[in-house]
Amino acid sequence: MNSNSTDQPRVAIVTGGSRGIGRQVVERLAADGYAIVVNYRDNHAEAETAVAAARAAGGDAIAIPADIADEAAVADLFEAAERRFGGVDVVVHAAGMMALSPLADLDLDQLDRILRVNVRGTFAVDQQAARRVRRGGAIINFSSSLTRFARPGYSAYAASKGAVSAITLVLARELRGRDVTVNAVAPGPTATALFLDGKDEQTVARIAAEPPLERLGTPDDIAELVAFLAGPGRWVNGQVLYANGGAI
């Protein structure tokens, strides 16, 4: 599943592709022969490093900046992909933000920022994906296992990711007849800077021991699932896949 009907490489846009899980997805899809558009917001150097890694893995790649919650910027992102590579086959929407606070203490301005990035951003990216992804393609959003864990301090983040799950399930049904799958990956604790930042060793060790597999997830664990949904997993559609080692 790494070429379209004209025998050209399949094309993937990966939002948040300059770091963390998104960066690993870039490398994994590049290894499958995809041409990759690495979306980032601010860090050009990291994005170019991701591009170099994708090319080293066997795929072509470019880096395009865009605020994912700005619908005009997202439209420009997709248009840049189409100009460079001729179309879009896969959209992996991995960009997001997290902020922790007990609900009673949550700064509602912070809540607005989380909802803007995680919910509005998903709408903006999925709107363009729904209009532009070619037949046989895939849209892959990122939810979170925190929608099930109900871990204190994560109310705003979990609420935003619950919205992503709902958007995904509805969009899959709205694309009936298009031959485009829509799914969400819901990682559990994964060893990225987003998860590790601000946690002491004891907290990390306690969380790592929760799943039956007794470890944190890795970006590669999640990237393998994304690669399956992007390619051979054509009969998986309208699902939220919880990738957390069996923690719940």
In a domain, 54, yes or no: yes
Q: What are the tokens at 32?
A: 């499958």
List the catalytic residue out of 34, 40, 157, 242.
157
Q: What are the tokens at 225?
A: 């699932």
- Which tens digit of pLDDT belongs to each residue from 158-215? 999 999 999 999 999 999 999 999 999 999 999 998 788 878 899 999 999 999 999 9
* Cα–Cα distance for residue pair 203/100, rounded to 1 Å: 15
pLDDT at residue number 226: 98
The range of the structural domain enclosing residue 56 comes to 11-243
Cβ–Cβ under 8 Å, residues 39 and 95: yes
In a domain, 248, yes or no: no
Distances (CA, A) of 64 to 38, 73, 101, 235: 6, 10, 32, 31
pLDDT at residue number 2: 44
Q: What are the tokens at 234?
A: 């054509």
Does the pTM surpass 0.75? The reply is yes
* 195 contact partners, CB below 8 Å, separation of at least 6: 189, 216
Phi/psi at 64 (5° precision): -130, 125
Check pLDDT > 50 for residue 67: yes
What crossing angle do the helices spanning 44-57 and 20-31 adopt, rounded to 10°? 30
pLDDT at residue number 5: 46
* Cα–Cα distance for residue pair 14/92, rounded to 1 Å: 5
Cβ–Cβ under 8 Å, residues 31 and 116: no
pLDDT at residue number 8: 87
pLDDT at residue number 51: 98
* Cα–Cα distance for residue pair 132/188, rounded to 1 Å: 30
Q: Looking at residue 235, which CATH number applies to its domain?
A: 3.40.50.720
Domain count, the chain: 1
pLDDT at residue number 197: 83
Q: What are the tokens at 237?
A: 């559609």
- For all residues of the chain together, what is the average pLDDT? 95
Q: Closest by alpha carbon to 168, among 148, 139, 144, 145?
A: 139
DSSP state of 78: H
Q: Closest by alpha carbon to 15, among 99, 95, 112, 128?
A: 95
In a domain, 4, yes or no: no
Check pLDDT > 60 for residue 1: no
In a domain, 2, yes or no: no
Is 154 a catalytic site residue? no
* Cα–Cα distance for residue pair 69/79, rounded to 1 Å: 16
In a domain, 16, yes or no: yes
Average pLDDT over residues 42-63: 96
